[in-house]
Structure 1
């Protein structure tokens, strides 16, 4: 039976463009989950929770802090994009974070990330910037933008 980290890694392999180096390796995911304040959610291709080893079409990975939940990674396999799965993952994150006492969501992404329109439509807005934070495989530097969203 495939385990949950395998399912996360399967989606991550196809969801993140290797040119930007944003995907985590298996060890990074496992280490985050062992810390105890990190949480993940797996979603199936029809928007249902992917349970009991079922294939995952997407996932989210977040970290709980004091009254905050930081979205560390969100990925949807390319063949399932534009079907509302990203929004469903964000909806689930908002509900779960609220039950953990979060008052707001945070995320950081590279400038030009196509997911920015999804995040903005969900209510995220920029609050900060890190100049030249990311480095592509070709050596190009790209700014990171920090976003927040209040949990209502």
Structure 2
């Protein structure tokens, strides 16, 4: 799914504000576009009031980007703009992601996050469970290595 330029701009704005630069997790514009060109990626946007779909020119409070293969889907990116946090939007967007994956016939969902990611509680509350660790996978800008926690949600 190739996104309209307006959506790419809004996703990039949320990502740049939401992902702390010291962890190097934010993608650049080229990475985002390349992922969408492949064809097995989809994304979702959420507005400040939890509305979807967000129309061209509307403000975006958050987004997800996911990639599917057969009956499995991986949540690649998930973010809520800092100025819209603590309003329940993360839960709404994550439930929307899970439900649309289920409706598309997905059996398992995966995500990977750095140890200490504040979204860990959100993922756990929606049924994701740790299934593996990649020691030292992430590197901060000052060279500290952090583990990646792989998580899974079984839908069937």
Which residue matches 2:9?
Answer: 6
Count of matched residue pairs: 152
TM-score by length of 1: 0.96
Q: Tell me which moved more, 18-27 or 51-60.
A: 51-60
What whole-Å deviation, never above 9, does each CA across 1:12-51 have from its counterpart, x for those lacking one? 0100000000000000000000110000001000000122
Which residue matches 1:47?
Answer: 50
RMSD (CA atoms): 1.3
TM-superposed CA distance for 1:95, in Å, is: 1.8
Tell me how far apart the structure 2 counterparts of residues 48 and 147 of structure 1 sit (CA, whole Å): 27
Query: Any conservation in 2 of the 1:2–1:53 contact (CA below 8 Å)?
Result: no
Which residue matches 1:78?
Answer: 82
Give 3-state SS (helix, strand or coil) of 1:106's partner: strand
Tell me how far apart the structure 1 counterparts of residues 29 and 72 of structure 2 sit (CA, whole Å): 25
Tell me how far apart the structure 2 counterparts of residues 82 and 132 of structure 1 sit (CA, whole Å): 30
What whole-Å deviation, never above 9, does each CA across 1:31-79 have from its counterpart, x for those lacking one? 0001100000010000001222311000000001121110000000111
Tell me how far apart the structure 2 counterparts of residues 92 and 29 of structure 1 sit (CA, whole Å): 21
Which residue matches 2:116?
Answer: 112
Which residue matches 2:144?
Answer: 140
Matched, 1:128 2:93: no
Which residue matches 2:98?
Answer: 94
Tell me how far apart the structure 1 counterparts of residues 68 and 88 of structure 2 sit (CA, whole Å): 24
Tell me how far apart the structure 2 counterparts of residues 103 and 93 of structure 1 sit (CA, whole Å): 13
Q: Gapped runs of 5+ residues in structure 1?
A: none
TM-score by length of 2: 0.94
Query: Any conservation in 2 of the 1:64–1:97 contact (CA below 8 Å)?
Result: no
